[in-house]
Structure 1
Amino acid sequence: MHERWTEIRRGAGYLLTVFAAALALLAVFPLLLIAVLAAGLPGPLGETADWHRRLAARFLGVAVDAAPPATRRAEPPLGLAAAWRQRMRSPENRRHLRWLPRALVTGLVGGLGAVLFLGMAVGGVLMAPVRPVFDLESSFGDIGLASVPLDLGQSLLGAALCWWVLPRMARWHAEVCLSALEPTDEERLAERVGELTESRAGVLDAHGAELRRIERDLHDGAQARLVAIALRLGVAREQLPEDDDRLATLLREAHEGAEEAMTELRDVIRTIYPPILADRGLDGAVTAVAARSAVPTEVDLDELGELSPAVSAAAYFIVTESLTNAAKHSGATHARVRLTRAADRLLVEVTDDGIGGVDETRGTGVIGIRRRAAALDGSVLVSSPTGGPTAITVELPCGS
C-alpha cells in the first residue's frame, strides 16, 4: 500500500513537472520553429531535451549515458545552407526533432490527465461538506444533501483513476521520452565507428609525429656522428705512413664501413619519413620523385591545402612505389602523376603507357599500396589490361 502511494505521488509530481515544461515549450514553439528553419537547432533545445531525458531516467530508475560534451573538432568554414544541412544531419539533432512533438503531445495529455484525476479525487472530498451550505436551489426546502453522494462518487472515481491510471500514464510518458532521445542501435554503432575513426586518425597523427622525431634524431645524431667518424678515418689514412700496410688496411676497411653505414642509415631515414617531405612538403617531394624516376614522368598538382603528416607520407610512398613498379615491370616510356583534392578526399592518380597486366599475386607492389591506403581508410582502384595502359587511383581521406 505504501509503495503504491509512493508511485502515485512520484507519478503526479513527474506529470505536473512535464506538463509545466510542455506549456513552456508550447509558448515558445513559434520561436523554436523559426530558429530551426533559420539556423538548425538552437542550443537551449538540446539542453531542454537532455533535462527531460535525465528526468525520465530518474523516474524510471534506469541509467543513461551522460550527454556528450559540447566541444567539437574544428570544422572548415561552411556556407549558411551547408552548415544548416550539416547540423540537421546530426543524429543528436534528429533525435531532438523526433522528441519535440512527442514531448508536447504526451506532456500536455499526461499533465491534463493528472490535473483532472487529482481534481476529481480532491475536489469531491472538499465539496461534499460544504455543498449543503451553498446549494440553496433545491425544491421542498431540501438543502442539497442529495448532491453529497455525487461528490463522494466523483472523489472515489478520481481516486481510482489516480490509483490505477496515473502511475501508468507517468511511466508511459517517461518511456516515450527515453525512446525518442536515446540513440538507436544503428546510431550507437555509427557513433562508435565515428569515435574509432577519429581515434585512429589521432593515432596516425601521433605515429607520424613520432616518425618525424626519429628521423630528426637519426639525421642530426647518429648520421652526424658517422660523418664525423668517416672524416676522421679519412684524415688518419692520409697521415698514415705508406709502409704500414696492415694499419692502412684496417683504416681503409673502417673508412669504407663507416661510409656504407651512412648509406644504409640514409636509406632507413628515407623509409621512416623522407626528409624531403618534411622540408618541401608533398608538392615538392612528389616533384623530386618524378624527376628522379627512371621513367620520364609528368606531374600535375592542384592546390592541396594543408594535409596531415600521415596522409602526406602515404601519398608520397604511393607515388614512389607506383613509379618504381612502372620502371621495373611495365616497360613504360612515359608516366603521369596527378594529385587533386576534393573537399575531404585526396586523389592520387599514377598512370603509365607500359604493357599492363598487373598481377597483384606476383608481388608487383600493389599490395603495399593497398595496405598504406587501408591504414587511412582509403580506397585503391587498379586498371591494368593486358597491353596497357596501367592506372592506379587512390583516394585518401584528408578531412580535419
Structure 2
Amino acid sequence: MRLRLLWHAIRYLLVGLPSAMATLLFVPLLALGLLSTGVGLGVVVLPRIVMGLRLWAEWHRRRAAALVNATISARQARLRQGIRAQWRQLLDDPEIRRDLRWIVRHIATGFPAGLVALMVVGMAVSSVIVAPFWWAFPVDEALTILAFPVTTWWQAIALGVPQLAAALALGWWVLPGLARLHARSCLAALEPSPVEQLAQRVGELTESRAGVLDAHGAELRRIERDLHDGTQAKLVAIAMRLGVAREMLNEDAGPLARLLSEAHESTEEAMTELRQVIRTMYPPILADRGLKGAVSAVAAGAGVPVEVSTDDLGRVPAAVEAAAYFIVAETITNVTRHSGATRATVRLSRRRDVLLIEVGDDGRGGIDESRGTGVAGIRKRAAAFDGRVQVHSPAGGPTTITVELPCAS
C-alpha cells in the first residue's frame, strides 16, 4: 500500500515539474492576448486562450482529485456564442479568476515540489544504476556521490548505500505528503472559497425556491378550480334539490320537513364555508383579474378612499401574488379599522426580482406591534418568502408600510 502511494506521489510530482514550466507559458500568452485587444485581434483570441487555460487547469484538477480521492464536479469549459457574450463570460465567470489564481500557485509550488521528487529519484538511480559503473568515468571526471569522488569499489559501496538509504527515506516519508500537499493546494486554488460556496448555495436555494413557488401556485390554482367547479357545484345542486323538495312537501309533513330544512340550511352553510376556504387559499379574483385587478377590487371595497398605482410587474409566481394580495387586504383593513385615516395609497412596483408593496395612509400613526395591530401577520406572510417588512409610523402620522417579496422565477 505504501509503495503504491510512493509510486503515485513520484509520478504526480515528476509530471508536475514540466507542467509547471508549460503553465508559465500562459503568462505571456495572456499578456499578449490582452494587449492585442487594442488592435482587435485579442477580442477574438483572448477568450480562447482563457478557455485553453481552463482545460489545462481542469486536467490538473482531476489529477489532484484522483491523488487525494476527492470528489469534484466538472467545470464548464465552453465559450458562449458571440463575441459580446464571450467577453461578458470573461468578466462575470468567477471560475476564470480561480484559473488565474491557480497559475501563480501551480508555478510557485510545482517547480520546487517537482525538483524535490527529481532529486530523490536521481539519488536513487545514481546509487543503484550509476554507482556500479564508476570505473567507466574518466579519471579527471570521476563519479561523485555525496560530494565525494568515487575511484574504487569500496568507495562506490560505502557512498552509494548511504545515498540510496537517504533517497529511500526521503521518498518514503516526504514525497507522499508533499504530493498530497501540492494536490490540496491545486484544489484549493480551483475550488470556490467558503464564502463563494455559501453564495452559490444561496443561489441554488433561491432557484429551487422559485420552482417550489411555481409548483405551489399551480397546485393552489388546481385545488381552487377543483373546489370551485367540482365540489361547490355539487353542493349548489344538492342545495337546489333540497330546496325543491322542501317546497314540494306539505307543511304538516312533520319530522321529514324539519330534516329537509336542516339539511338545506347545512348545505348552504357548507357552501359559505367552502367559498371562504377558496378565498383564503387562492382568491378566485386573482385568477380572473390578476394582481392589479385584485388589488383594485380590494381598494374599491375599502372604507376609505384608496388610490392604487402599479408599474409593469412582469411574471410573478402565483404564491407570491396570493401573498401580496393578502398583505394589501390586511393592511387596508387595518387602515380602515384602526388608523382614523381619510385616504390611503397602494403602490405595486418591481425592482429586478423583488416585488415592492407600499401602503400609506394619513391616519394618526403610532403603530405598536406589541398590541397586535396586524403587522405581525404581515411580517409572517413576508417571512415565508424571505421577504422584508418596514414600518414607518410616527405618532400623529402618516404611516407607510413597505413590503419586499422576492419573486424570481
CA deviation vs aligned residue, 1:50-75 (integer Å, no higher than 9, x gap): 55345334434xx53442786xxxxx
Task: Name whichever of 171-180 and 344-353 sits farther off.
Answer: 171-180
CA deviation vs aligned residue, 1:34-65 (integer Å, no higher than 9, x gap): 599966996665565455345334434xx534
Asked whether the equivalents of residues 117 and 158 of structure 1 are also in contact (C-alpha less than 8 Å), the reply is: no
Asked whether the equivalents of residues 210 and 407 of structure 2 are also in contact (C-alpha less than 8 Å), the reply is: no
Cα distance in 2, alignment partners of residues 84 and 375 from structure 1:
36
Judged with a 3 Å threshold, the aligned counterparts in structure 2 of structure 1 residues 310 and 45 are, in CA distance, closer, same or farther, namely farther
Asked whether the equivalents of residues 307 and 345 of structure 2 are also in contact (C-alpha less than 8 Å), the reply is: yes
Question: Is the counterpart of residue 87 in structure 1 residue 93 in structure 2?
Answer: yes
Cα distance in 2, alignment partners of residues 245 and 294 from structure 1:
46
Residue in structure 2 matched with residue 9 of structure 1 by the alignment: 7
Alignment of 1:39-50 (within 5 A): 49=57
Report how far residue 221 of structure 1 moved. Answer: 1.6
Identity, in percent, stands at 54
CA deviation vs aligned residue, 1:287-315 (integer Å, no higher than 9, x gap): 22222222221111111111112211111
Asked whether the equivalents of residues 120 and 170 of structure 2 are also in contact (C-alpha less than 8 Å), the reply is: no
Report how far residue 319 of structure 1 moved. Answer: 0.7
Residue in structure 1 matched with residue 320 of structure 2 by the alignment: 311
Asked whether the equivalents of residues 41 and 87 of structure 1 are also in contact (C-alpha less than 8 Å), the reply is: no
Residue in structure 2 matched with residue 64 of structure 1 by the alignment: 70
Cα distance in 2, alignment partners of residues 180 and 352 from structure 1:
55
- SS, match of residue 105 in structure 1: helix
CA deviation vs aligned residue, 1:239-289 (integer Å, no higher than 9, x gap): 445665876565454434333322221111000011121232222222222
Residue in structure 1 matched with residue 17 of structure 2 by the alignment: 19
Report how far residue 232 of structure 1 moved. Answer: 2.0
Residue in structure 1 matched with residue 39 of structure 2 by the alignment: none
Cα distance in 2, alignment partners of residues 19 and 297 from structure 1:
75
Cα distance in 1, alignment partners of residues 250 and 214 from structure 2:
55
Report how far residue 97 of structure 1 moved. Answer: 4.2
Judged with a 3 Å threshold, the aligned counterparts in structure 2 of structure 1 residues 41 and 208 are, in CA distance, closer, same or farther, namely farther
Residue in structure 1 matched with residue 118 of structure 2 by the alignment: 115
Asked whether the equivalents of residues 348 and 357 of structure 2 are also in contact (C-alpha less than 8 Å), the reply is: yes
Cα distance in 1, alignment partners of residues 355 and 388 from structure 2:
11
Asked whether the equivalents of residues 378 and 397 of structure 1 are also in contact (C-alpha less than 8 Å), the reply is: yes
Judged with a 3 Å threshold, the aligned counterparts in structure 2 of structure 1 residues 191 and 64 are, in CA distance, closer, same or farther, namely farther
Residue in structure 2 matched with residue 374 of structure 1 by the alignment: 383
The amino acid of 2:112's aligned partner reads: V
The amino acid of 1:315's aligned partner reads: A
Residue in structure 2 matched with residue 55 of structure 1 by the alignment: 63
Structure 1: state its 5+ residue gaps: 71-77, 139-143
Cα distance in 2, alignment partners of residues 250 and 295 from structure 1:
45
Indicate which of 293, 296, 315 corresponds to 2:305: 296
Alignment of 1:1-400 (within 5 A): 3=2, 8-29=6-27, 49=57, 51-60=59-68, 63-67=69-73, 84-88=90-94, 95-123=98-126, 126=129, 133=136, 135=138, 138=140, 150=149, 160=166, 163-164=169-170, 167=175, 168-241=177-250, 250-400=259-409
Report how far residue 6 of structure 1 moved. Answer: 5.0
Report how far residue 371 of structure 1 moved. Answer: 0.3
The amino acid of 2:17's aligned partner reads: F
Cα distance in 2, alignment partners of residues 87 and 273 from structure 1:
40
Task: Name whichever of 51-60 and 105-114 sits farther off.
Answer: 51-60
The amino acid of 1:99's aligned partner reads: W
Cα distance in 2, alignment partners of residues 375 and 126 from structure 1:
74
With the length of structure 2 as denominator, give the TM-score of the two structures.
0.77
Task: Name whichever of 40-49 and 362-371 sits farther off.
Answer: 40-49
Judged with a 3 Å threshold, the aligned counterparts in structure 2 of structure 1 residues 83 and 278 are, in CA distance, closer, same or farther, namely farther
- SS, match of residue 233 in structure 2: helix
Judged with a 3 Å threshold, the aligned counterparts in structure 2 of structure 1 residues 53 and 146 are, in CA distance, closer, same or farther, namely closer
CA deviation vs aligned residue, 1:120-155 (integer Å, no higher than 9, x gap): 54357655566655638x5xxxxx668686366699
Judged with a 3 Å threshold, the aligned counterparts in structure 2 of structure 1 residues 145 and 394 are, in CA distance, closer, same or farther, namely closer
Cα distance in 2, alignment partners of residues 108 and 352 from structure 1:
71
Cα distance in 1, alignment partners of residues 344 and 254 from structure 2:
52
Superposition CA RMSD, Å: 3.9
Asked whether the equivalents of residues 50 and 96 of structure 2 are also in contact (C-alpha less than 8 Å), the reply is: no
Cα distance in 2, alignment partners of residues 391 and 64 from structure 1:
54
The amino acid of 1:344's aligned partner reads: D
- SS, match of residue 150 in structure 1: strand
Cα distance in 2, alignment partners of residues 8 and 261 from structure 1:
79
Asked whether the equivalents of residues 8 and 163 of structure 1 are also in contact (C-alpha less than 8 Å), the reply is: no
- SS, match of residue 382 in structure 2: helix
Judged with a 3 Å threshold, the aligned counterparts in structure 2 of structure 1 residues 146 and 85 are, in CA distance, closer, same or farther, namely closer
Report how far residue 322 of structure 1 moved. Answer: 0.7
How many residue pairs match? The answer is 381
With the length of structure 1 as denominator, give the TM-score of the two structures.
0.78
- SS, match of residue 388 in structure 1: coil
